[in-house]
Structure 1
Amino acid sequence: MGEKIISKVIGTLTEDDSLPDWWIGEEIEIPFFDHEKVGISFTDYDQEHDETFLAEADDALRHFLALDTKDRAAVTHLVYTNCMDFLEAVEPDPADDDLRAITDESEIWKFVQPTEIYVTRRLYEQEDLYVQVACACDWDQEHGLQLVFRQGKKLTRVSGQDGHLTEADAYGKPDSEDFLLSQF
C-alpha cells in the first residue's frame, strides 16, 4: 500500500497503489444507516494540486455523519420513487414482487444496502465536495443506487451509480435546472 493521510474525522487513509489519487479508509458506523459499518474513501484527491481537499472532506464528513435515521426518513420518498420508476421501465419479474407489494414507503430501506462511501470534488461548475453513498439495491442489481450529498449536508441526487455527482453533470444541463441541486 502507498502513502497515508490523516482525516481528523475518520483517521488514517491509505493511497491505493492501483488507483492514483484514491485513498482508502476503514469501515465506520454510519448513523444514516442505523450505524451500519461502511468503508469511506477519498477519490481524485491529489495532494499537490488540491490543498483544501482534506479540510473540506472532513467538514463534509462531519455534516454527513450528523445525519441520522430521521434525515433518512425525510428522503425516503425519493428513494422509493427511484425504485418504482425503475420497476415501471422494466419487464415485470416475479423477483420484484416484494418491491411492488410495498405499502409503506419506508419499507424501501429493507431493499437498500450501503456498500461504500466516497468523498470527492465535483469537477464542473461549483467545485464543491460531495459525499457519494454507493448502495446495492434489490431493484437494479446492475447499476445499484447512489445517494449524493453536497458538502455532506443535503441530498442532491438519487440515481443509479453512473459516475456523475449531479443530474446537471449527467445530462449536460445548468445547475439551476437540476431539481435537487438547485434547492441546496
Structure 2
Amino acid sequence: MAIEVPLLGVMKRNPELPTWLESEPLPVPLLGGLPCTIVLERYEKDDQPEDFHAAIANLLAATQQVLRDVEKEVYQYYLDCDCNIYLDEEDWIVIEKPEDVWQHVDLGNSIYIARNFNGDEVVYASIENNCEWEDEHGLQIVLREGRQVTKLGPFDGHLTNSDAVGEPDVIYSRVGWHDDESD
C-alpha cells in the first residue's frame, strides 16, 4: 500500500522498522541542498499528522542561516570535547573560530521526524552528523517543529535537552555526556 505524504510524495515502509516511512532523497536547503531521505517515525498512527506536515514544510523552507545561528554552540561542543588530547600532534583538529566549525562536519543524509512522546509532544526533526572532533558520538542537531535548532551535541537519540539531561532552556549542554561521569 502506497502512503502519500504532503511535500514528500509516496513513502516506502522500512522493512526492518515498519513504523518508519522513508522518502526518496530530496534536496534540503538547510543542508546546502544535500539530498536527504526524510524518515517519519510513527506517522501513520499519529492523531495529528498535520503536525508532521507543518514540521516537514518548515524543514524544507529552512535555510543554512538556521545552522549559522548556532555556530557558537557547535563551537562550544568542539571545545568541550578536548579532541586534541586523543589525537597525535600532527592530526590535531584546530578550529579557530565558530564560523569554521562546519568545515569539520559531514552533514547527515537522513533526517528523522518524530513526535516527542517523552515530554512536550511536539514534532521534531533530528539529524545525525559526523564531525572530525568526535568520531564516536558525532553531532546531533534537533529542530523543534523543523524550524529552529533547540538541541545539539553528541548523538544520544533524545529530542530535547529536557528529556536528556533535565535542562529545558539550553541548545547545547555538556551535562550527561561521556567524560562528565568521571567528574
Do both proteins adopt the same fold according to a TM-score greater than 0.5, normalized to the shorter chain?
A: yes
Alignment of 1:142-153 (within 5 A): 142-153=136-147
My pick for the range that moved more, 64-73 or 145-154, is 64-73
Aligned to 2:28: 30
The Cα shift of 1:96 comes to 5.0
Aligned to 2:42: 44
Aligned to 1:139: 133
Amino acid at match of 2:101: I
TM-score in terms of structure 2 length: 0.83
| 1:113 counterpart (106, 109, 115) | 106
Q: What is the number of residues matched between the two proteins?
A: 170
SS in 2 for 1:91: helix
8 A contact 1:38–1:114 mirrored in 2: no
Question: Matched residues in 2 for 1:159 and 1:112: separation?
Answer: 12
The Cα shift of 1:14 comes to 0.9
Residue 127 in 1 paired to residue 121 in 2? yes
8 A contact 1:61–1:152 mirrored in 2: yes
Backbone CA RMSD of aligned residues: 2.0
1:42/1:96 CA distance change after superposition, 3 Å: farther
Amino acid at match of 2:154: G
8 A contact 1:148–1:165 mirrored in 2: yes
Question: Matched residues in 2 for 1:166 and 1:160: separation?
Answer: 12
Question: What runs of 5+ residues in structure 1 fail to find an aligned partner?
Answer: none
8 A contact 2:124–2:146 mirrored in 1: yes
The Cα shift of 1:108 comes to 0.9
Question: What runs of 5+ residues in structure 2 fail to find an aligned partner?
Answer: 173-183
Question: Matched residues in 1 for 2:167 and 2:63: separation?
Answer: 31
- Percent identity of equivalent pairs: 26
TM-score in terms of structure 1 length: 0.83
Question: Matched residues in 1 for 2:160 and 2:10: separation?
Answer: 28
The Cα shift of 1:174 comes to 6.5
8 A contact 1:5–1:14 mirrored in 2: yes
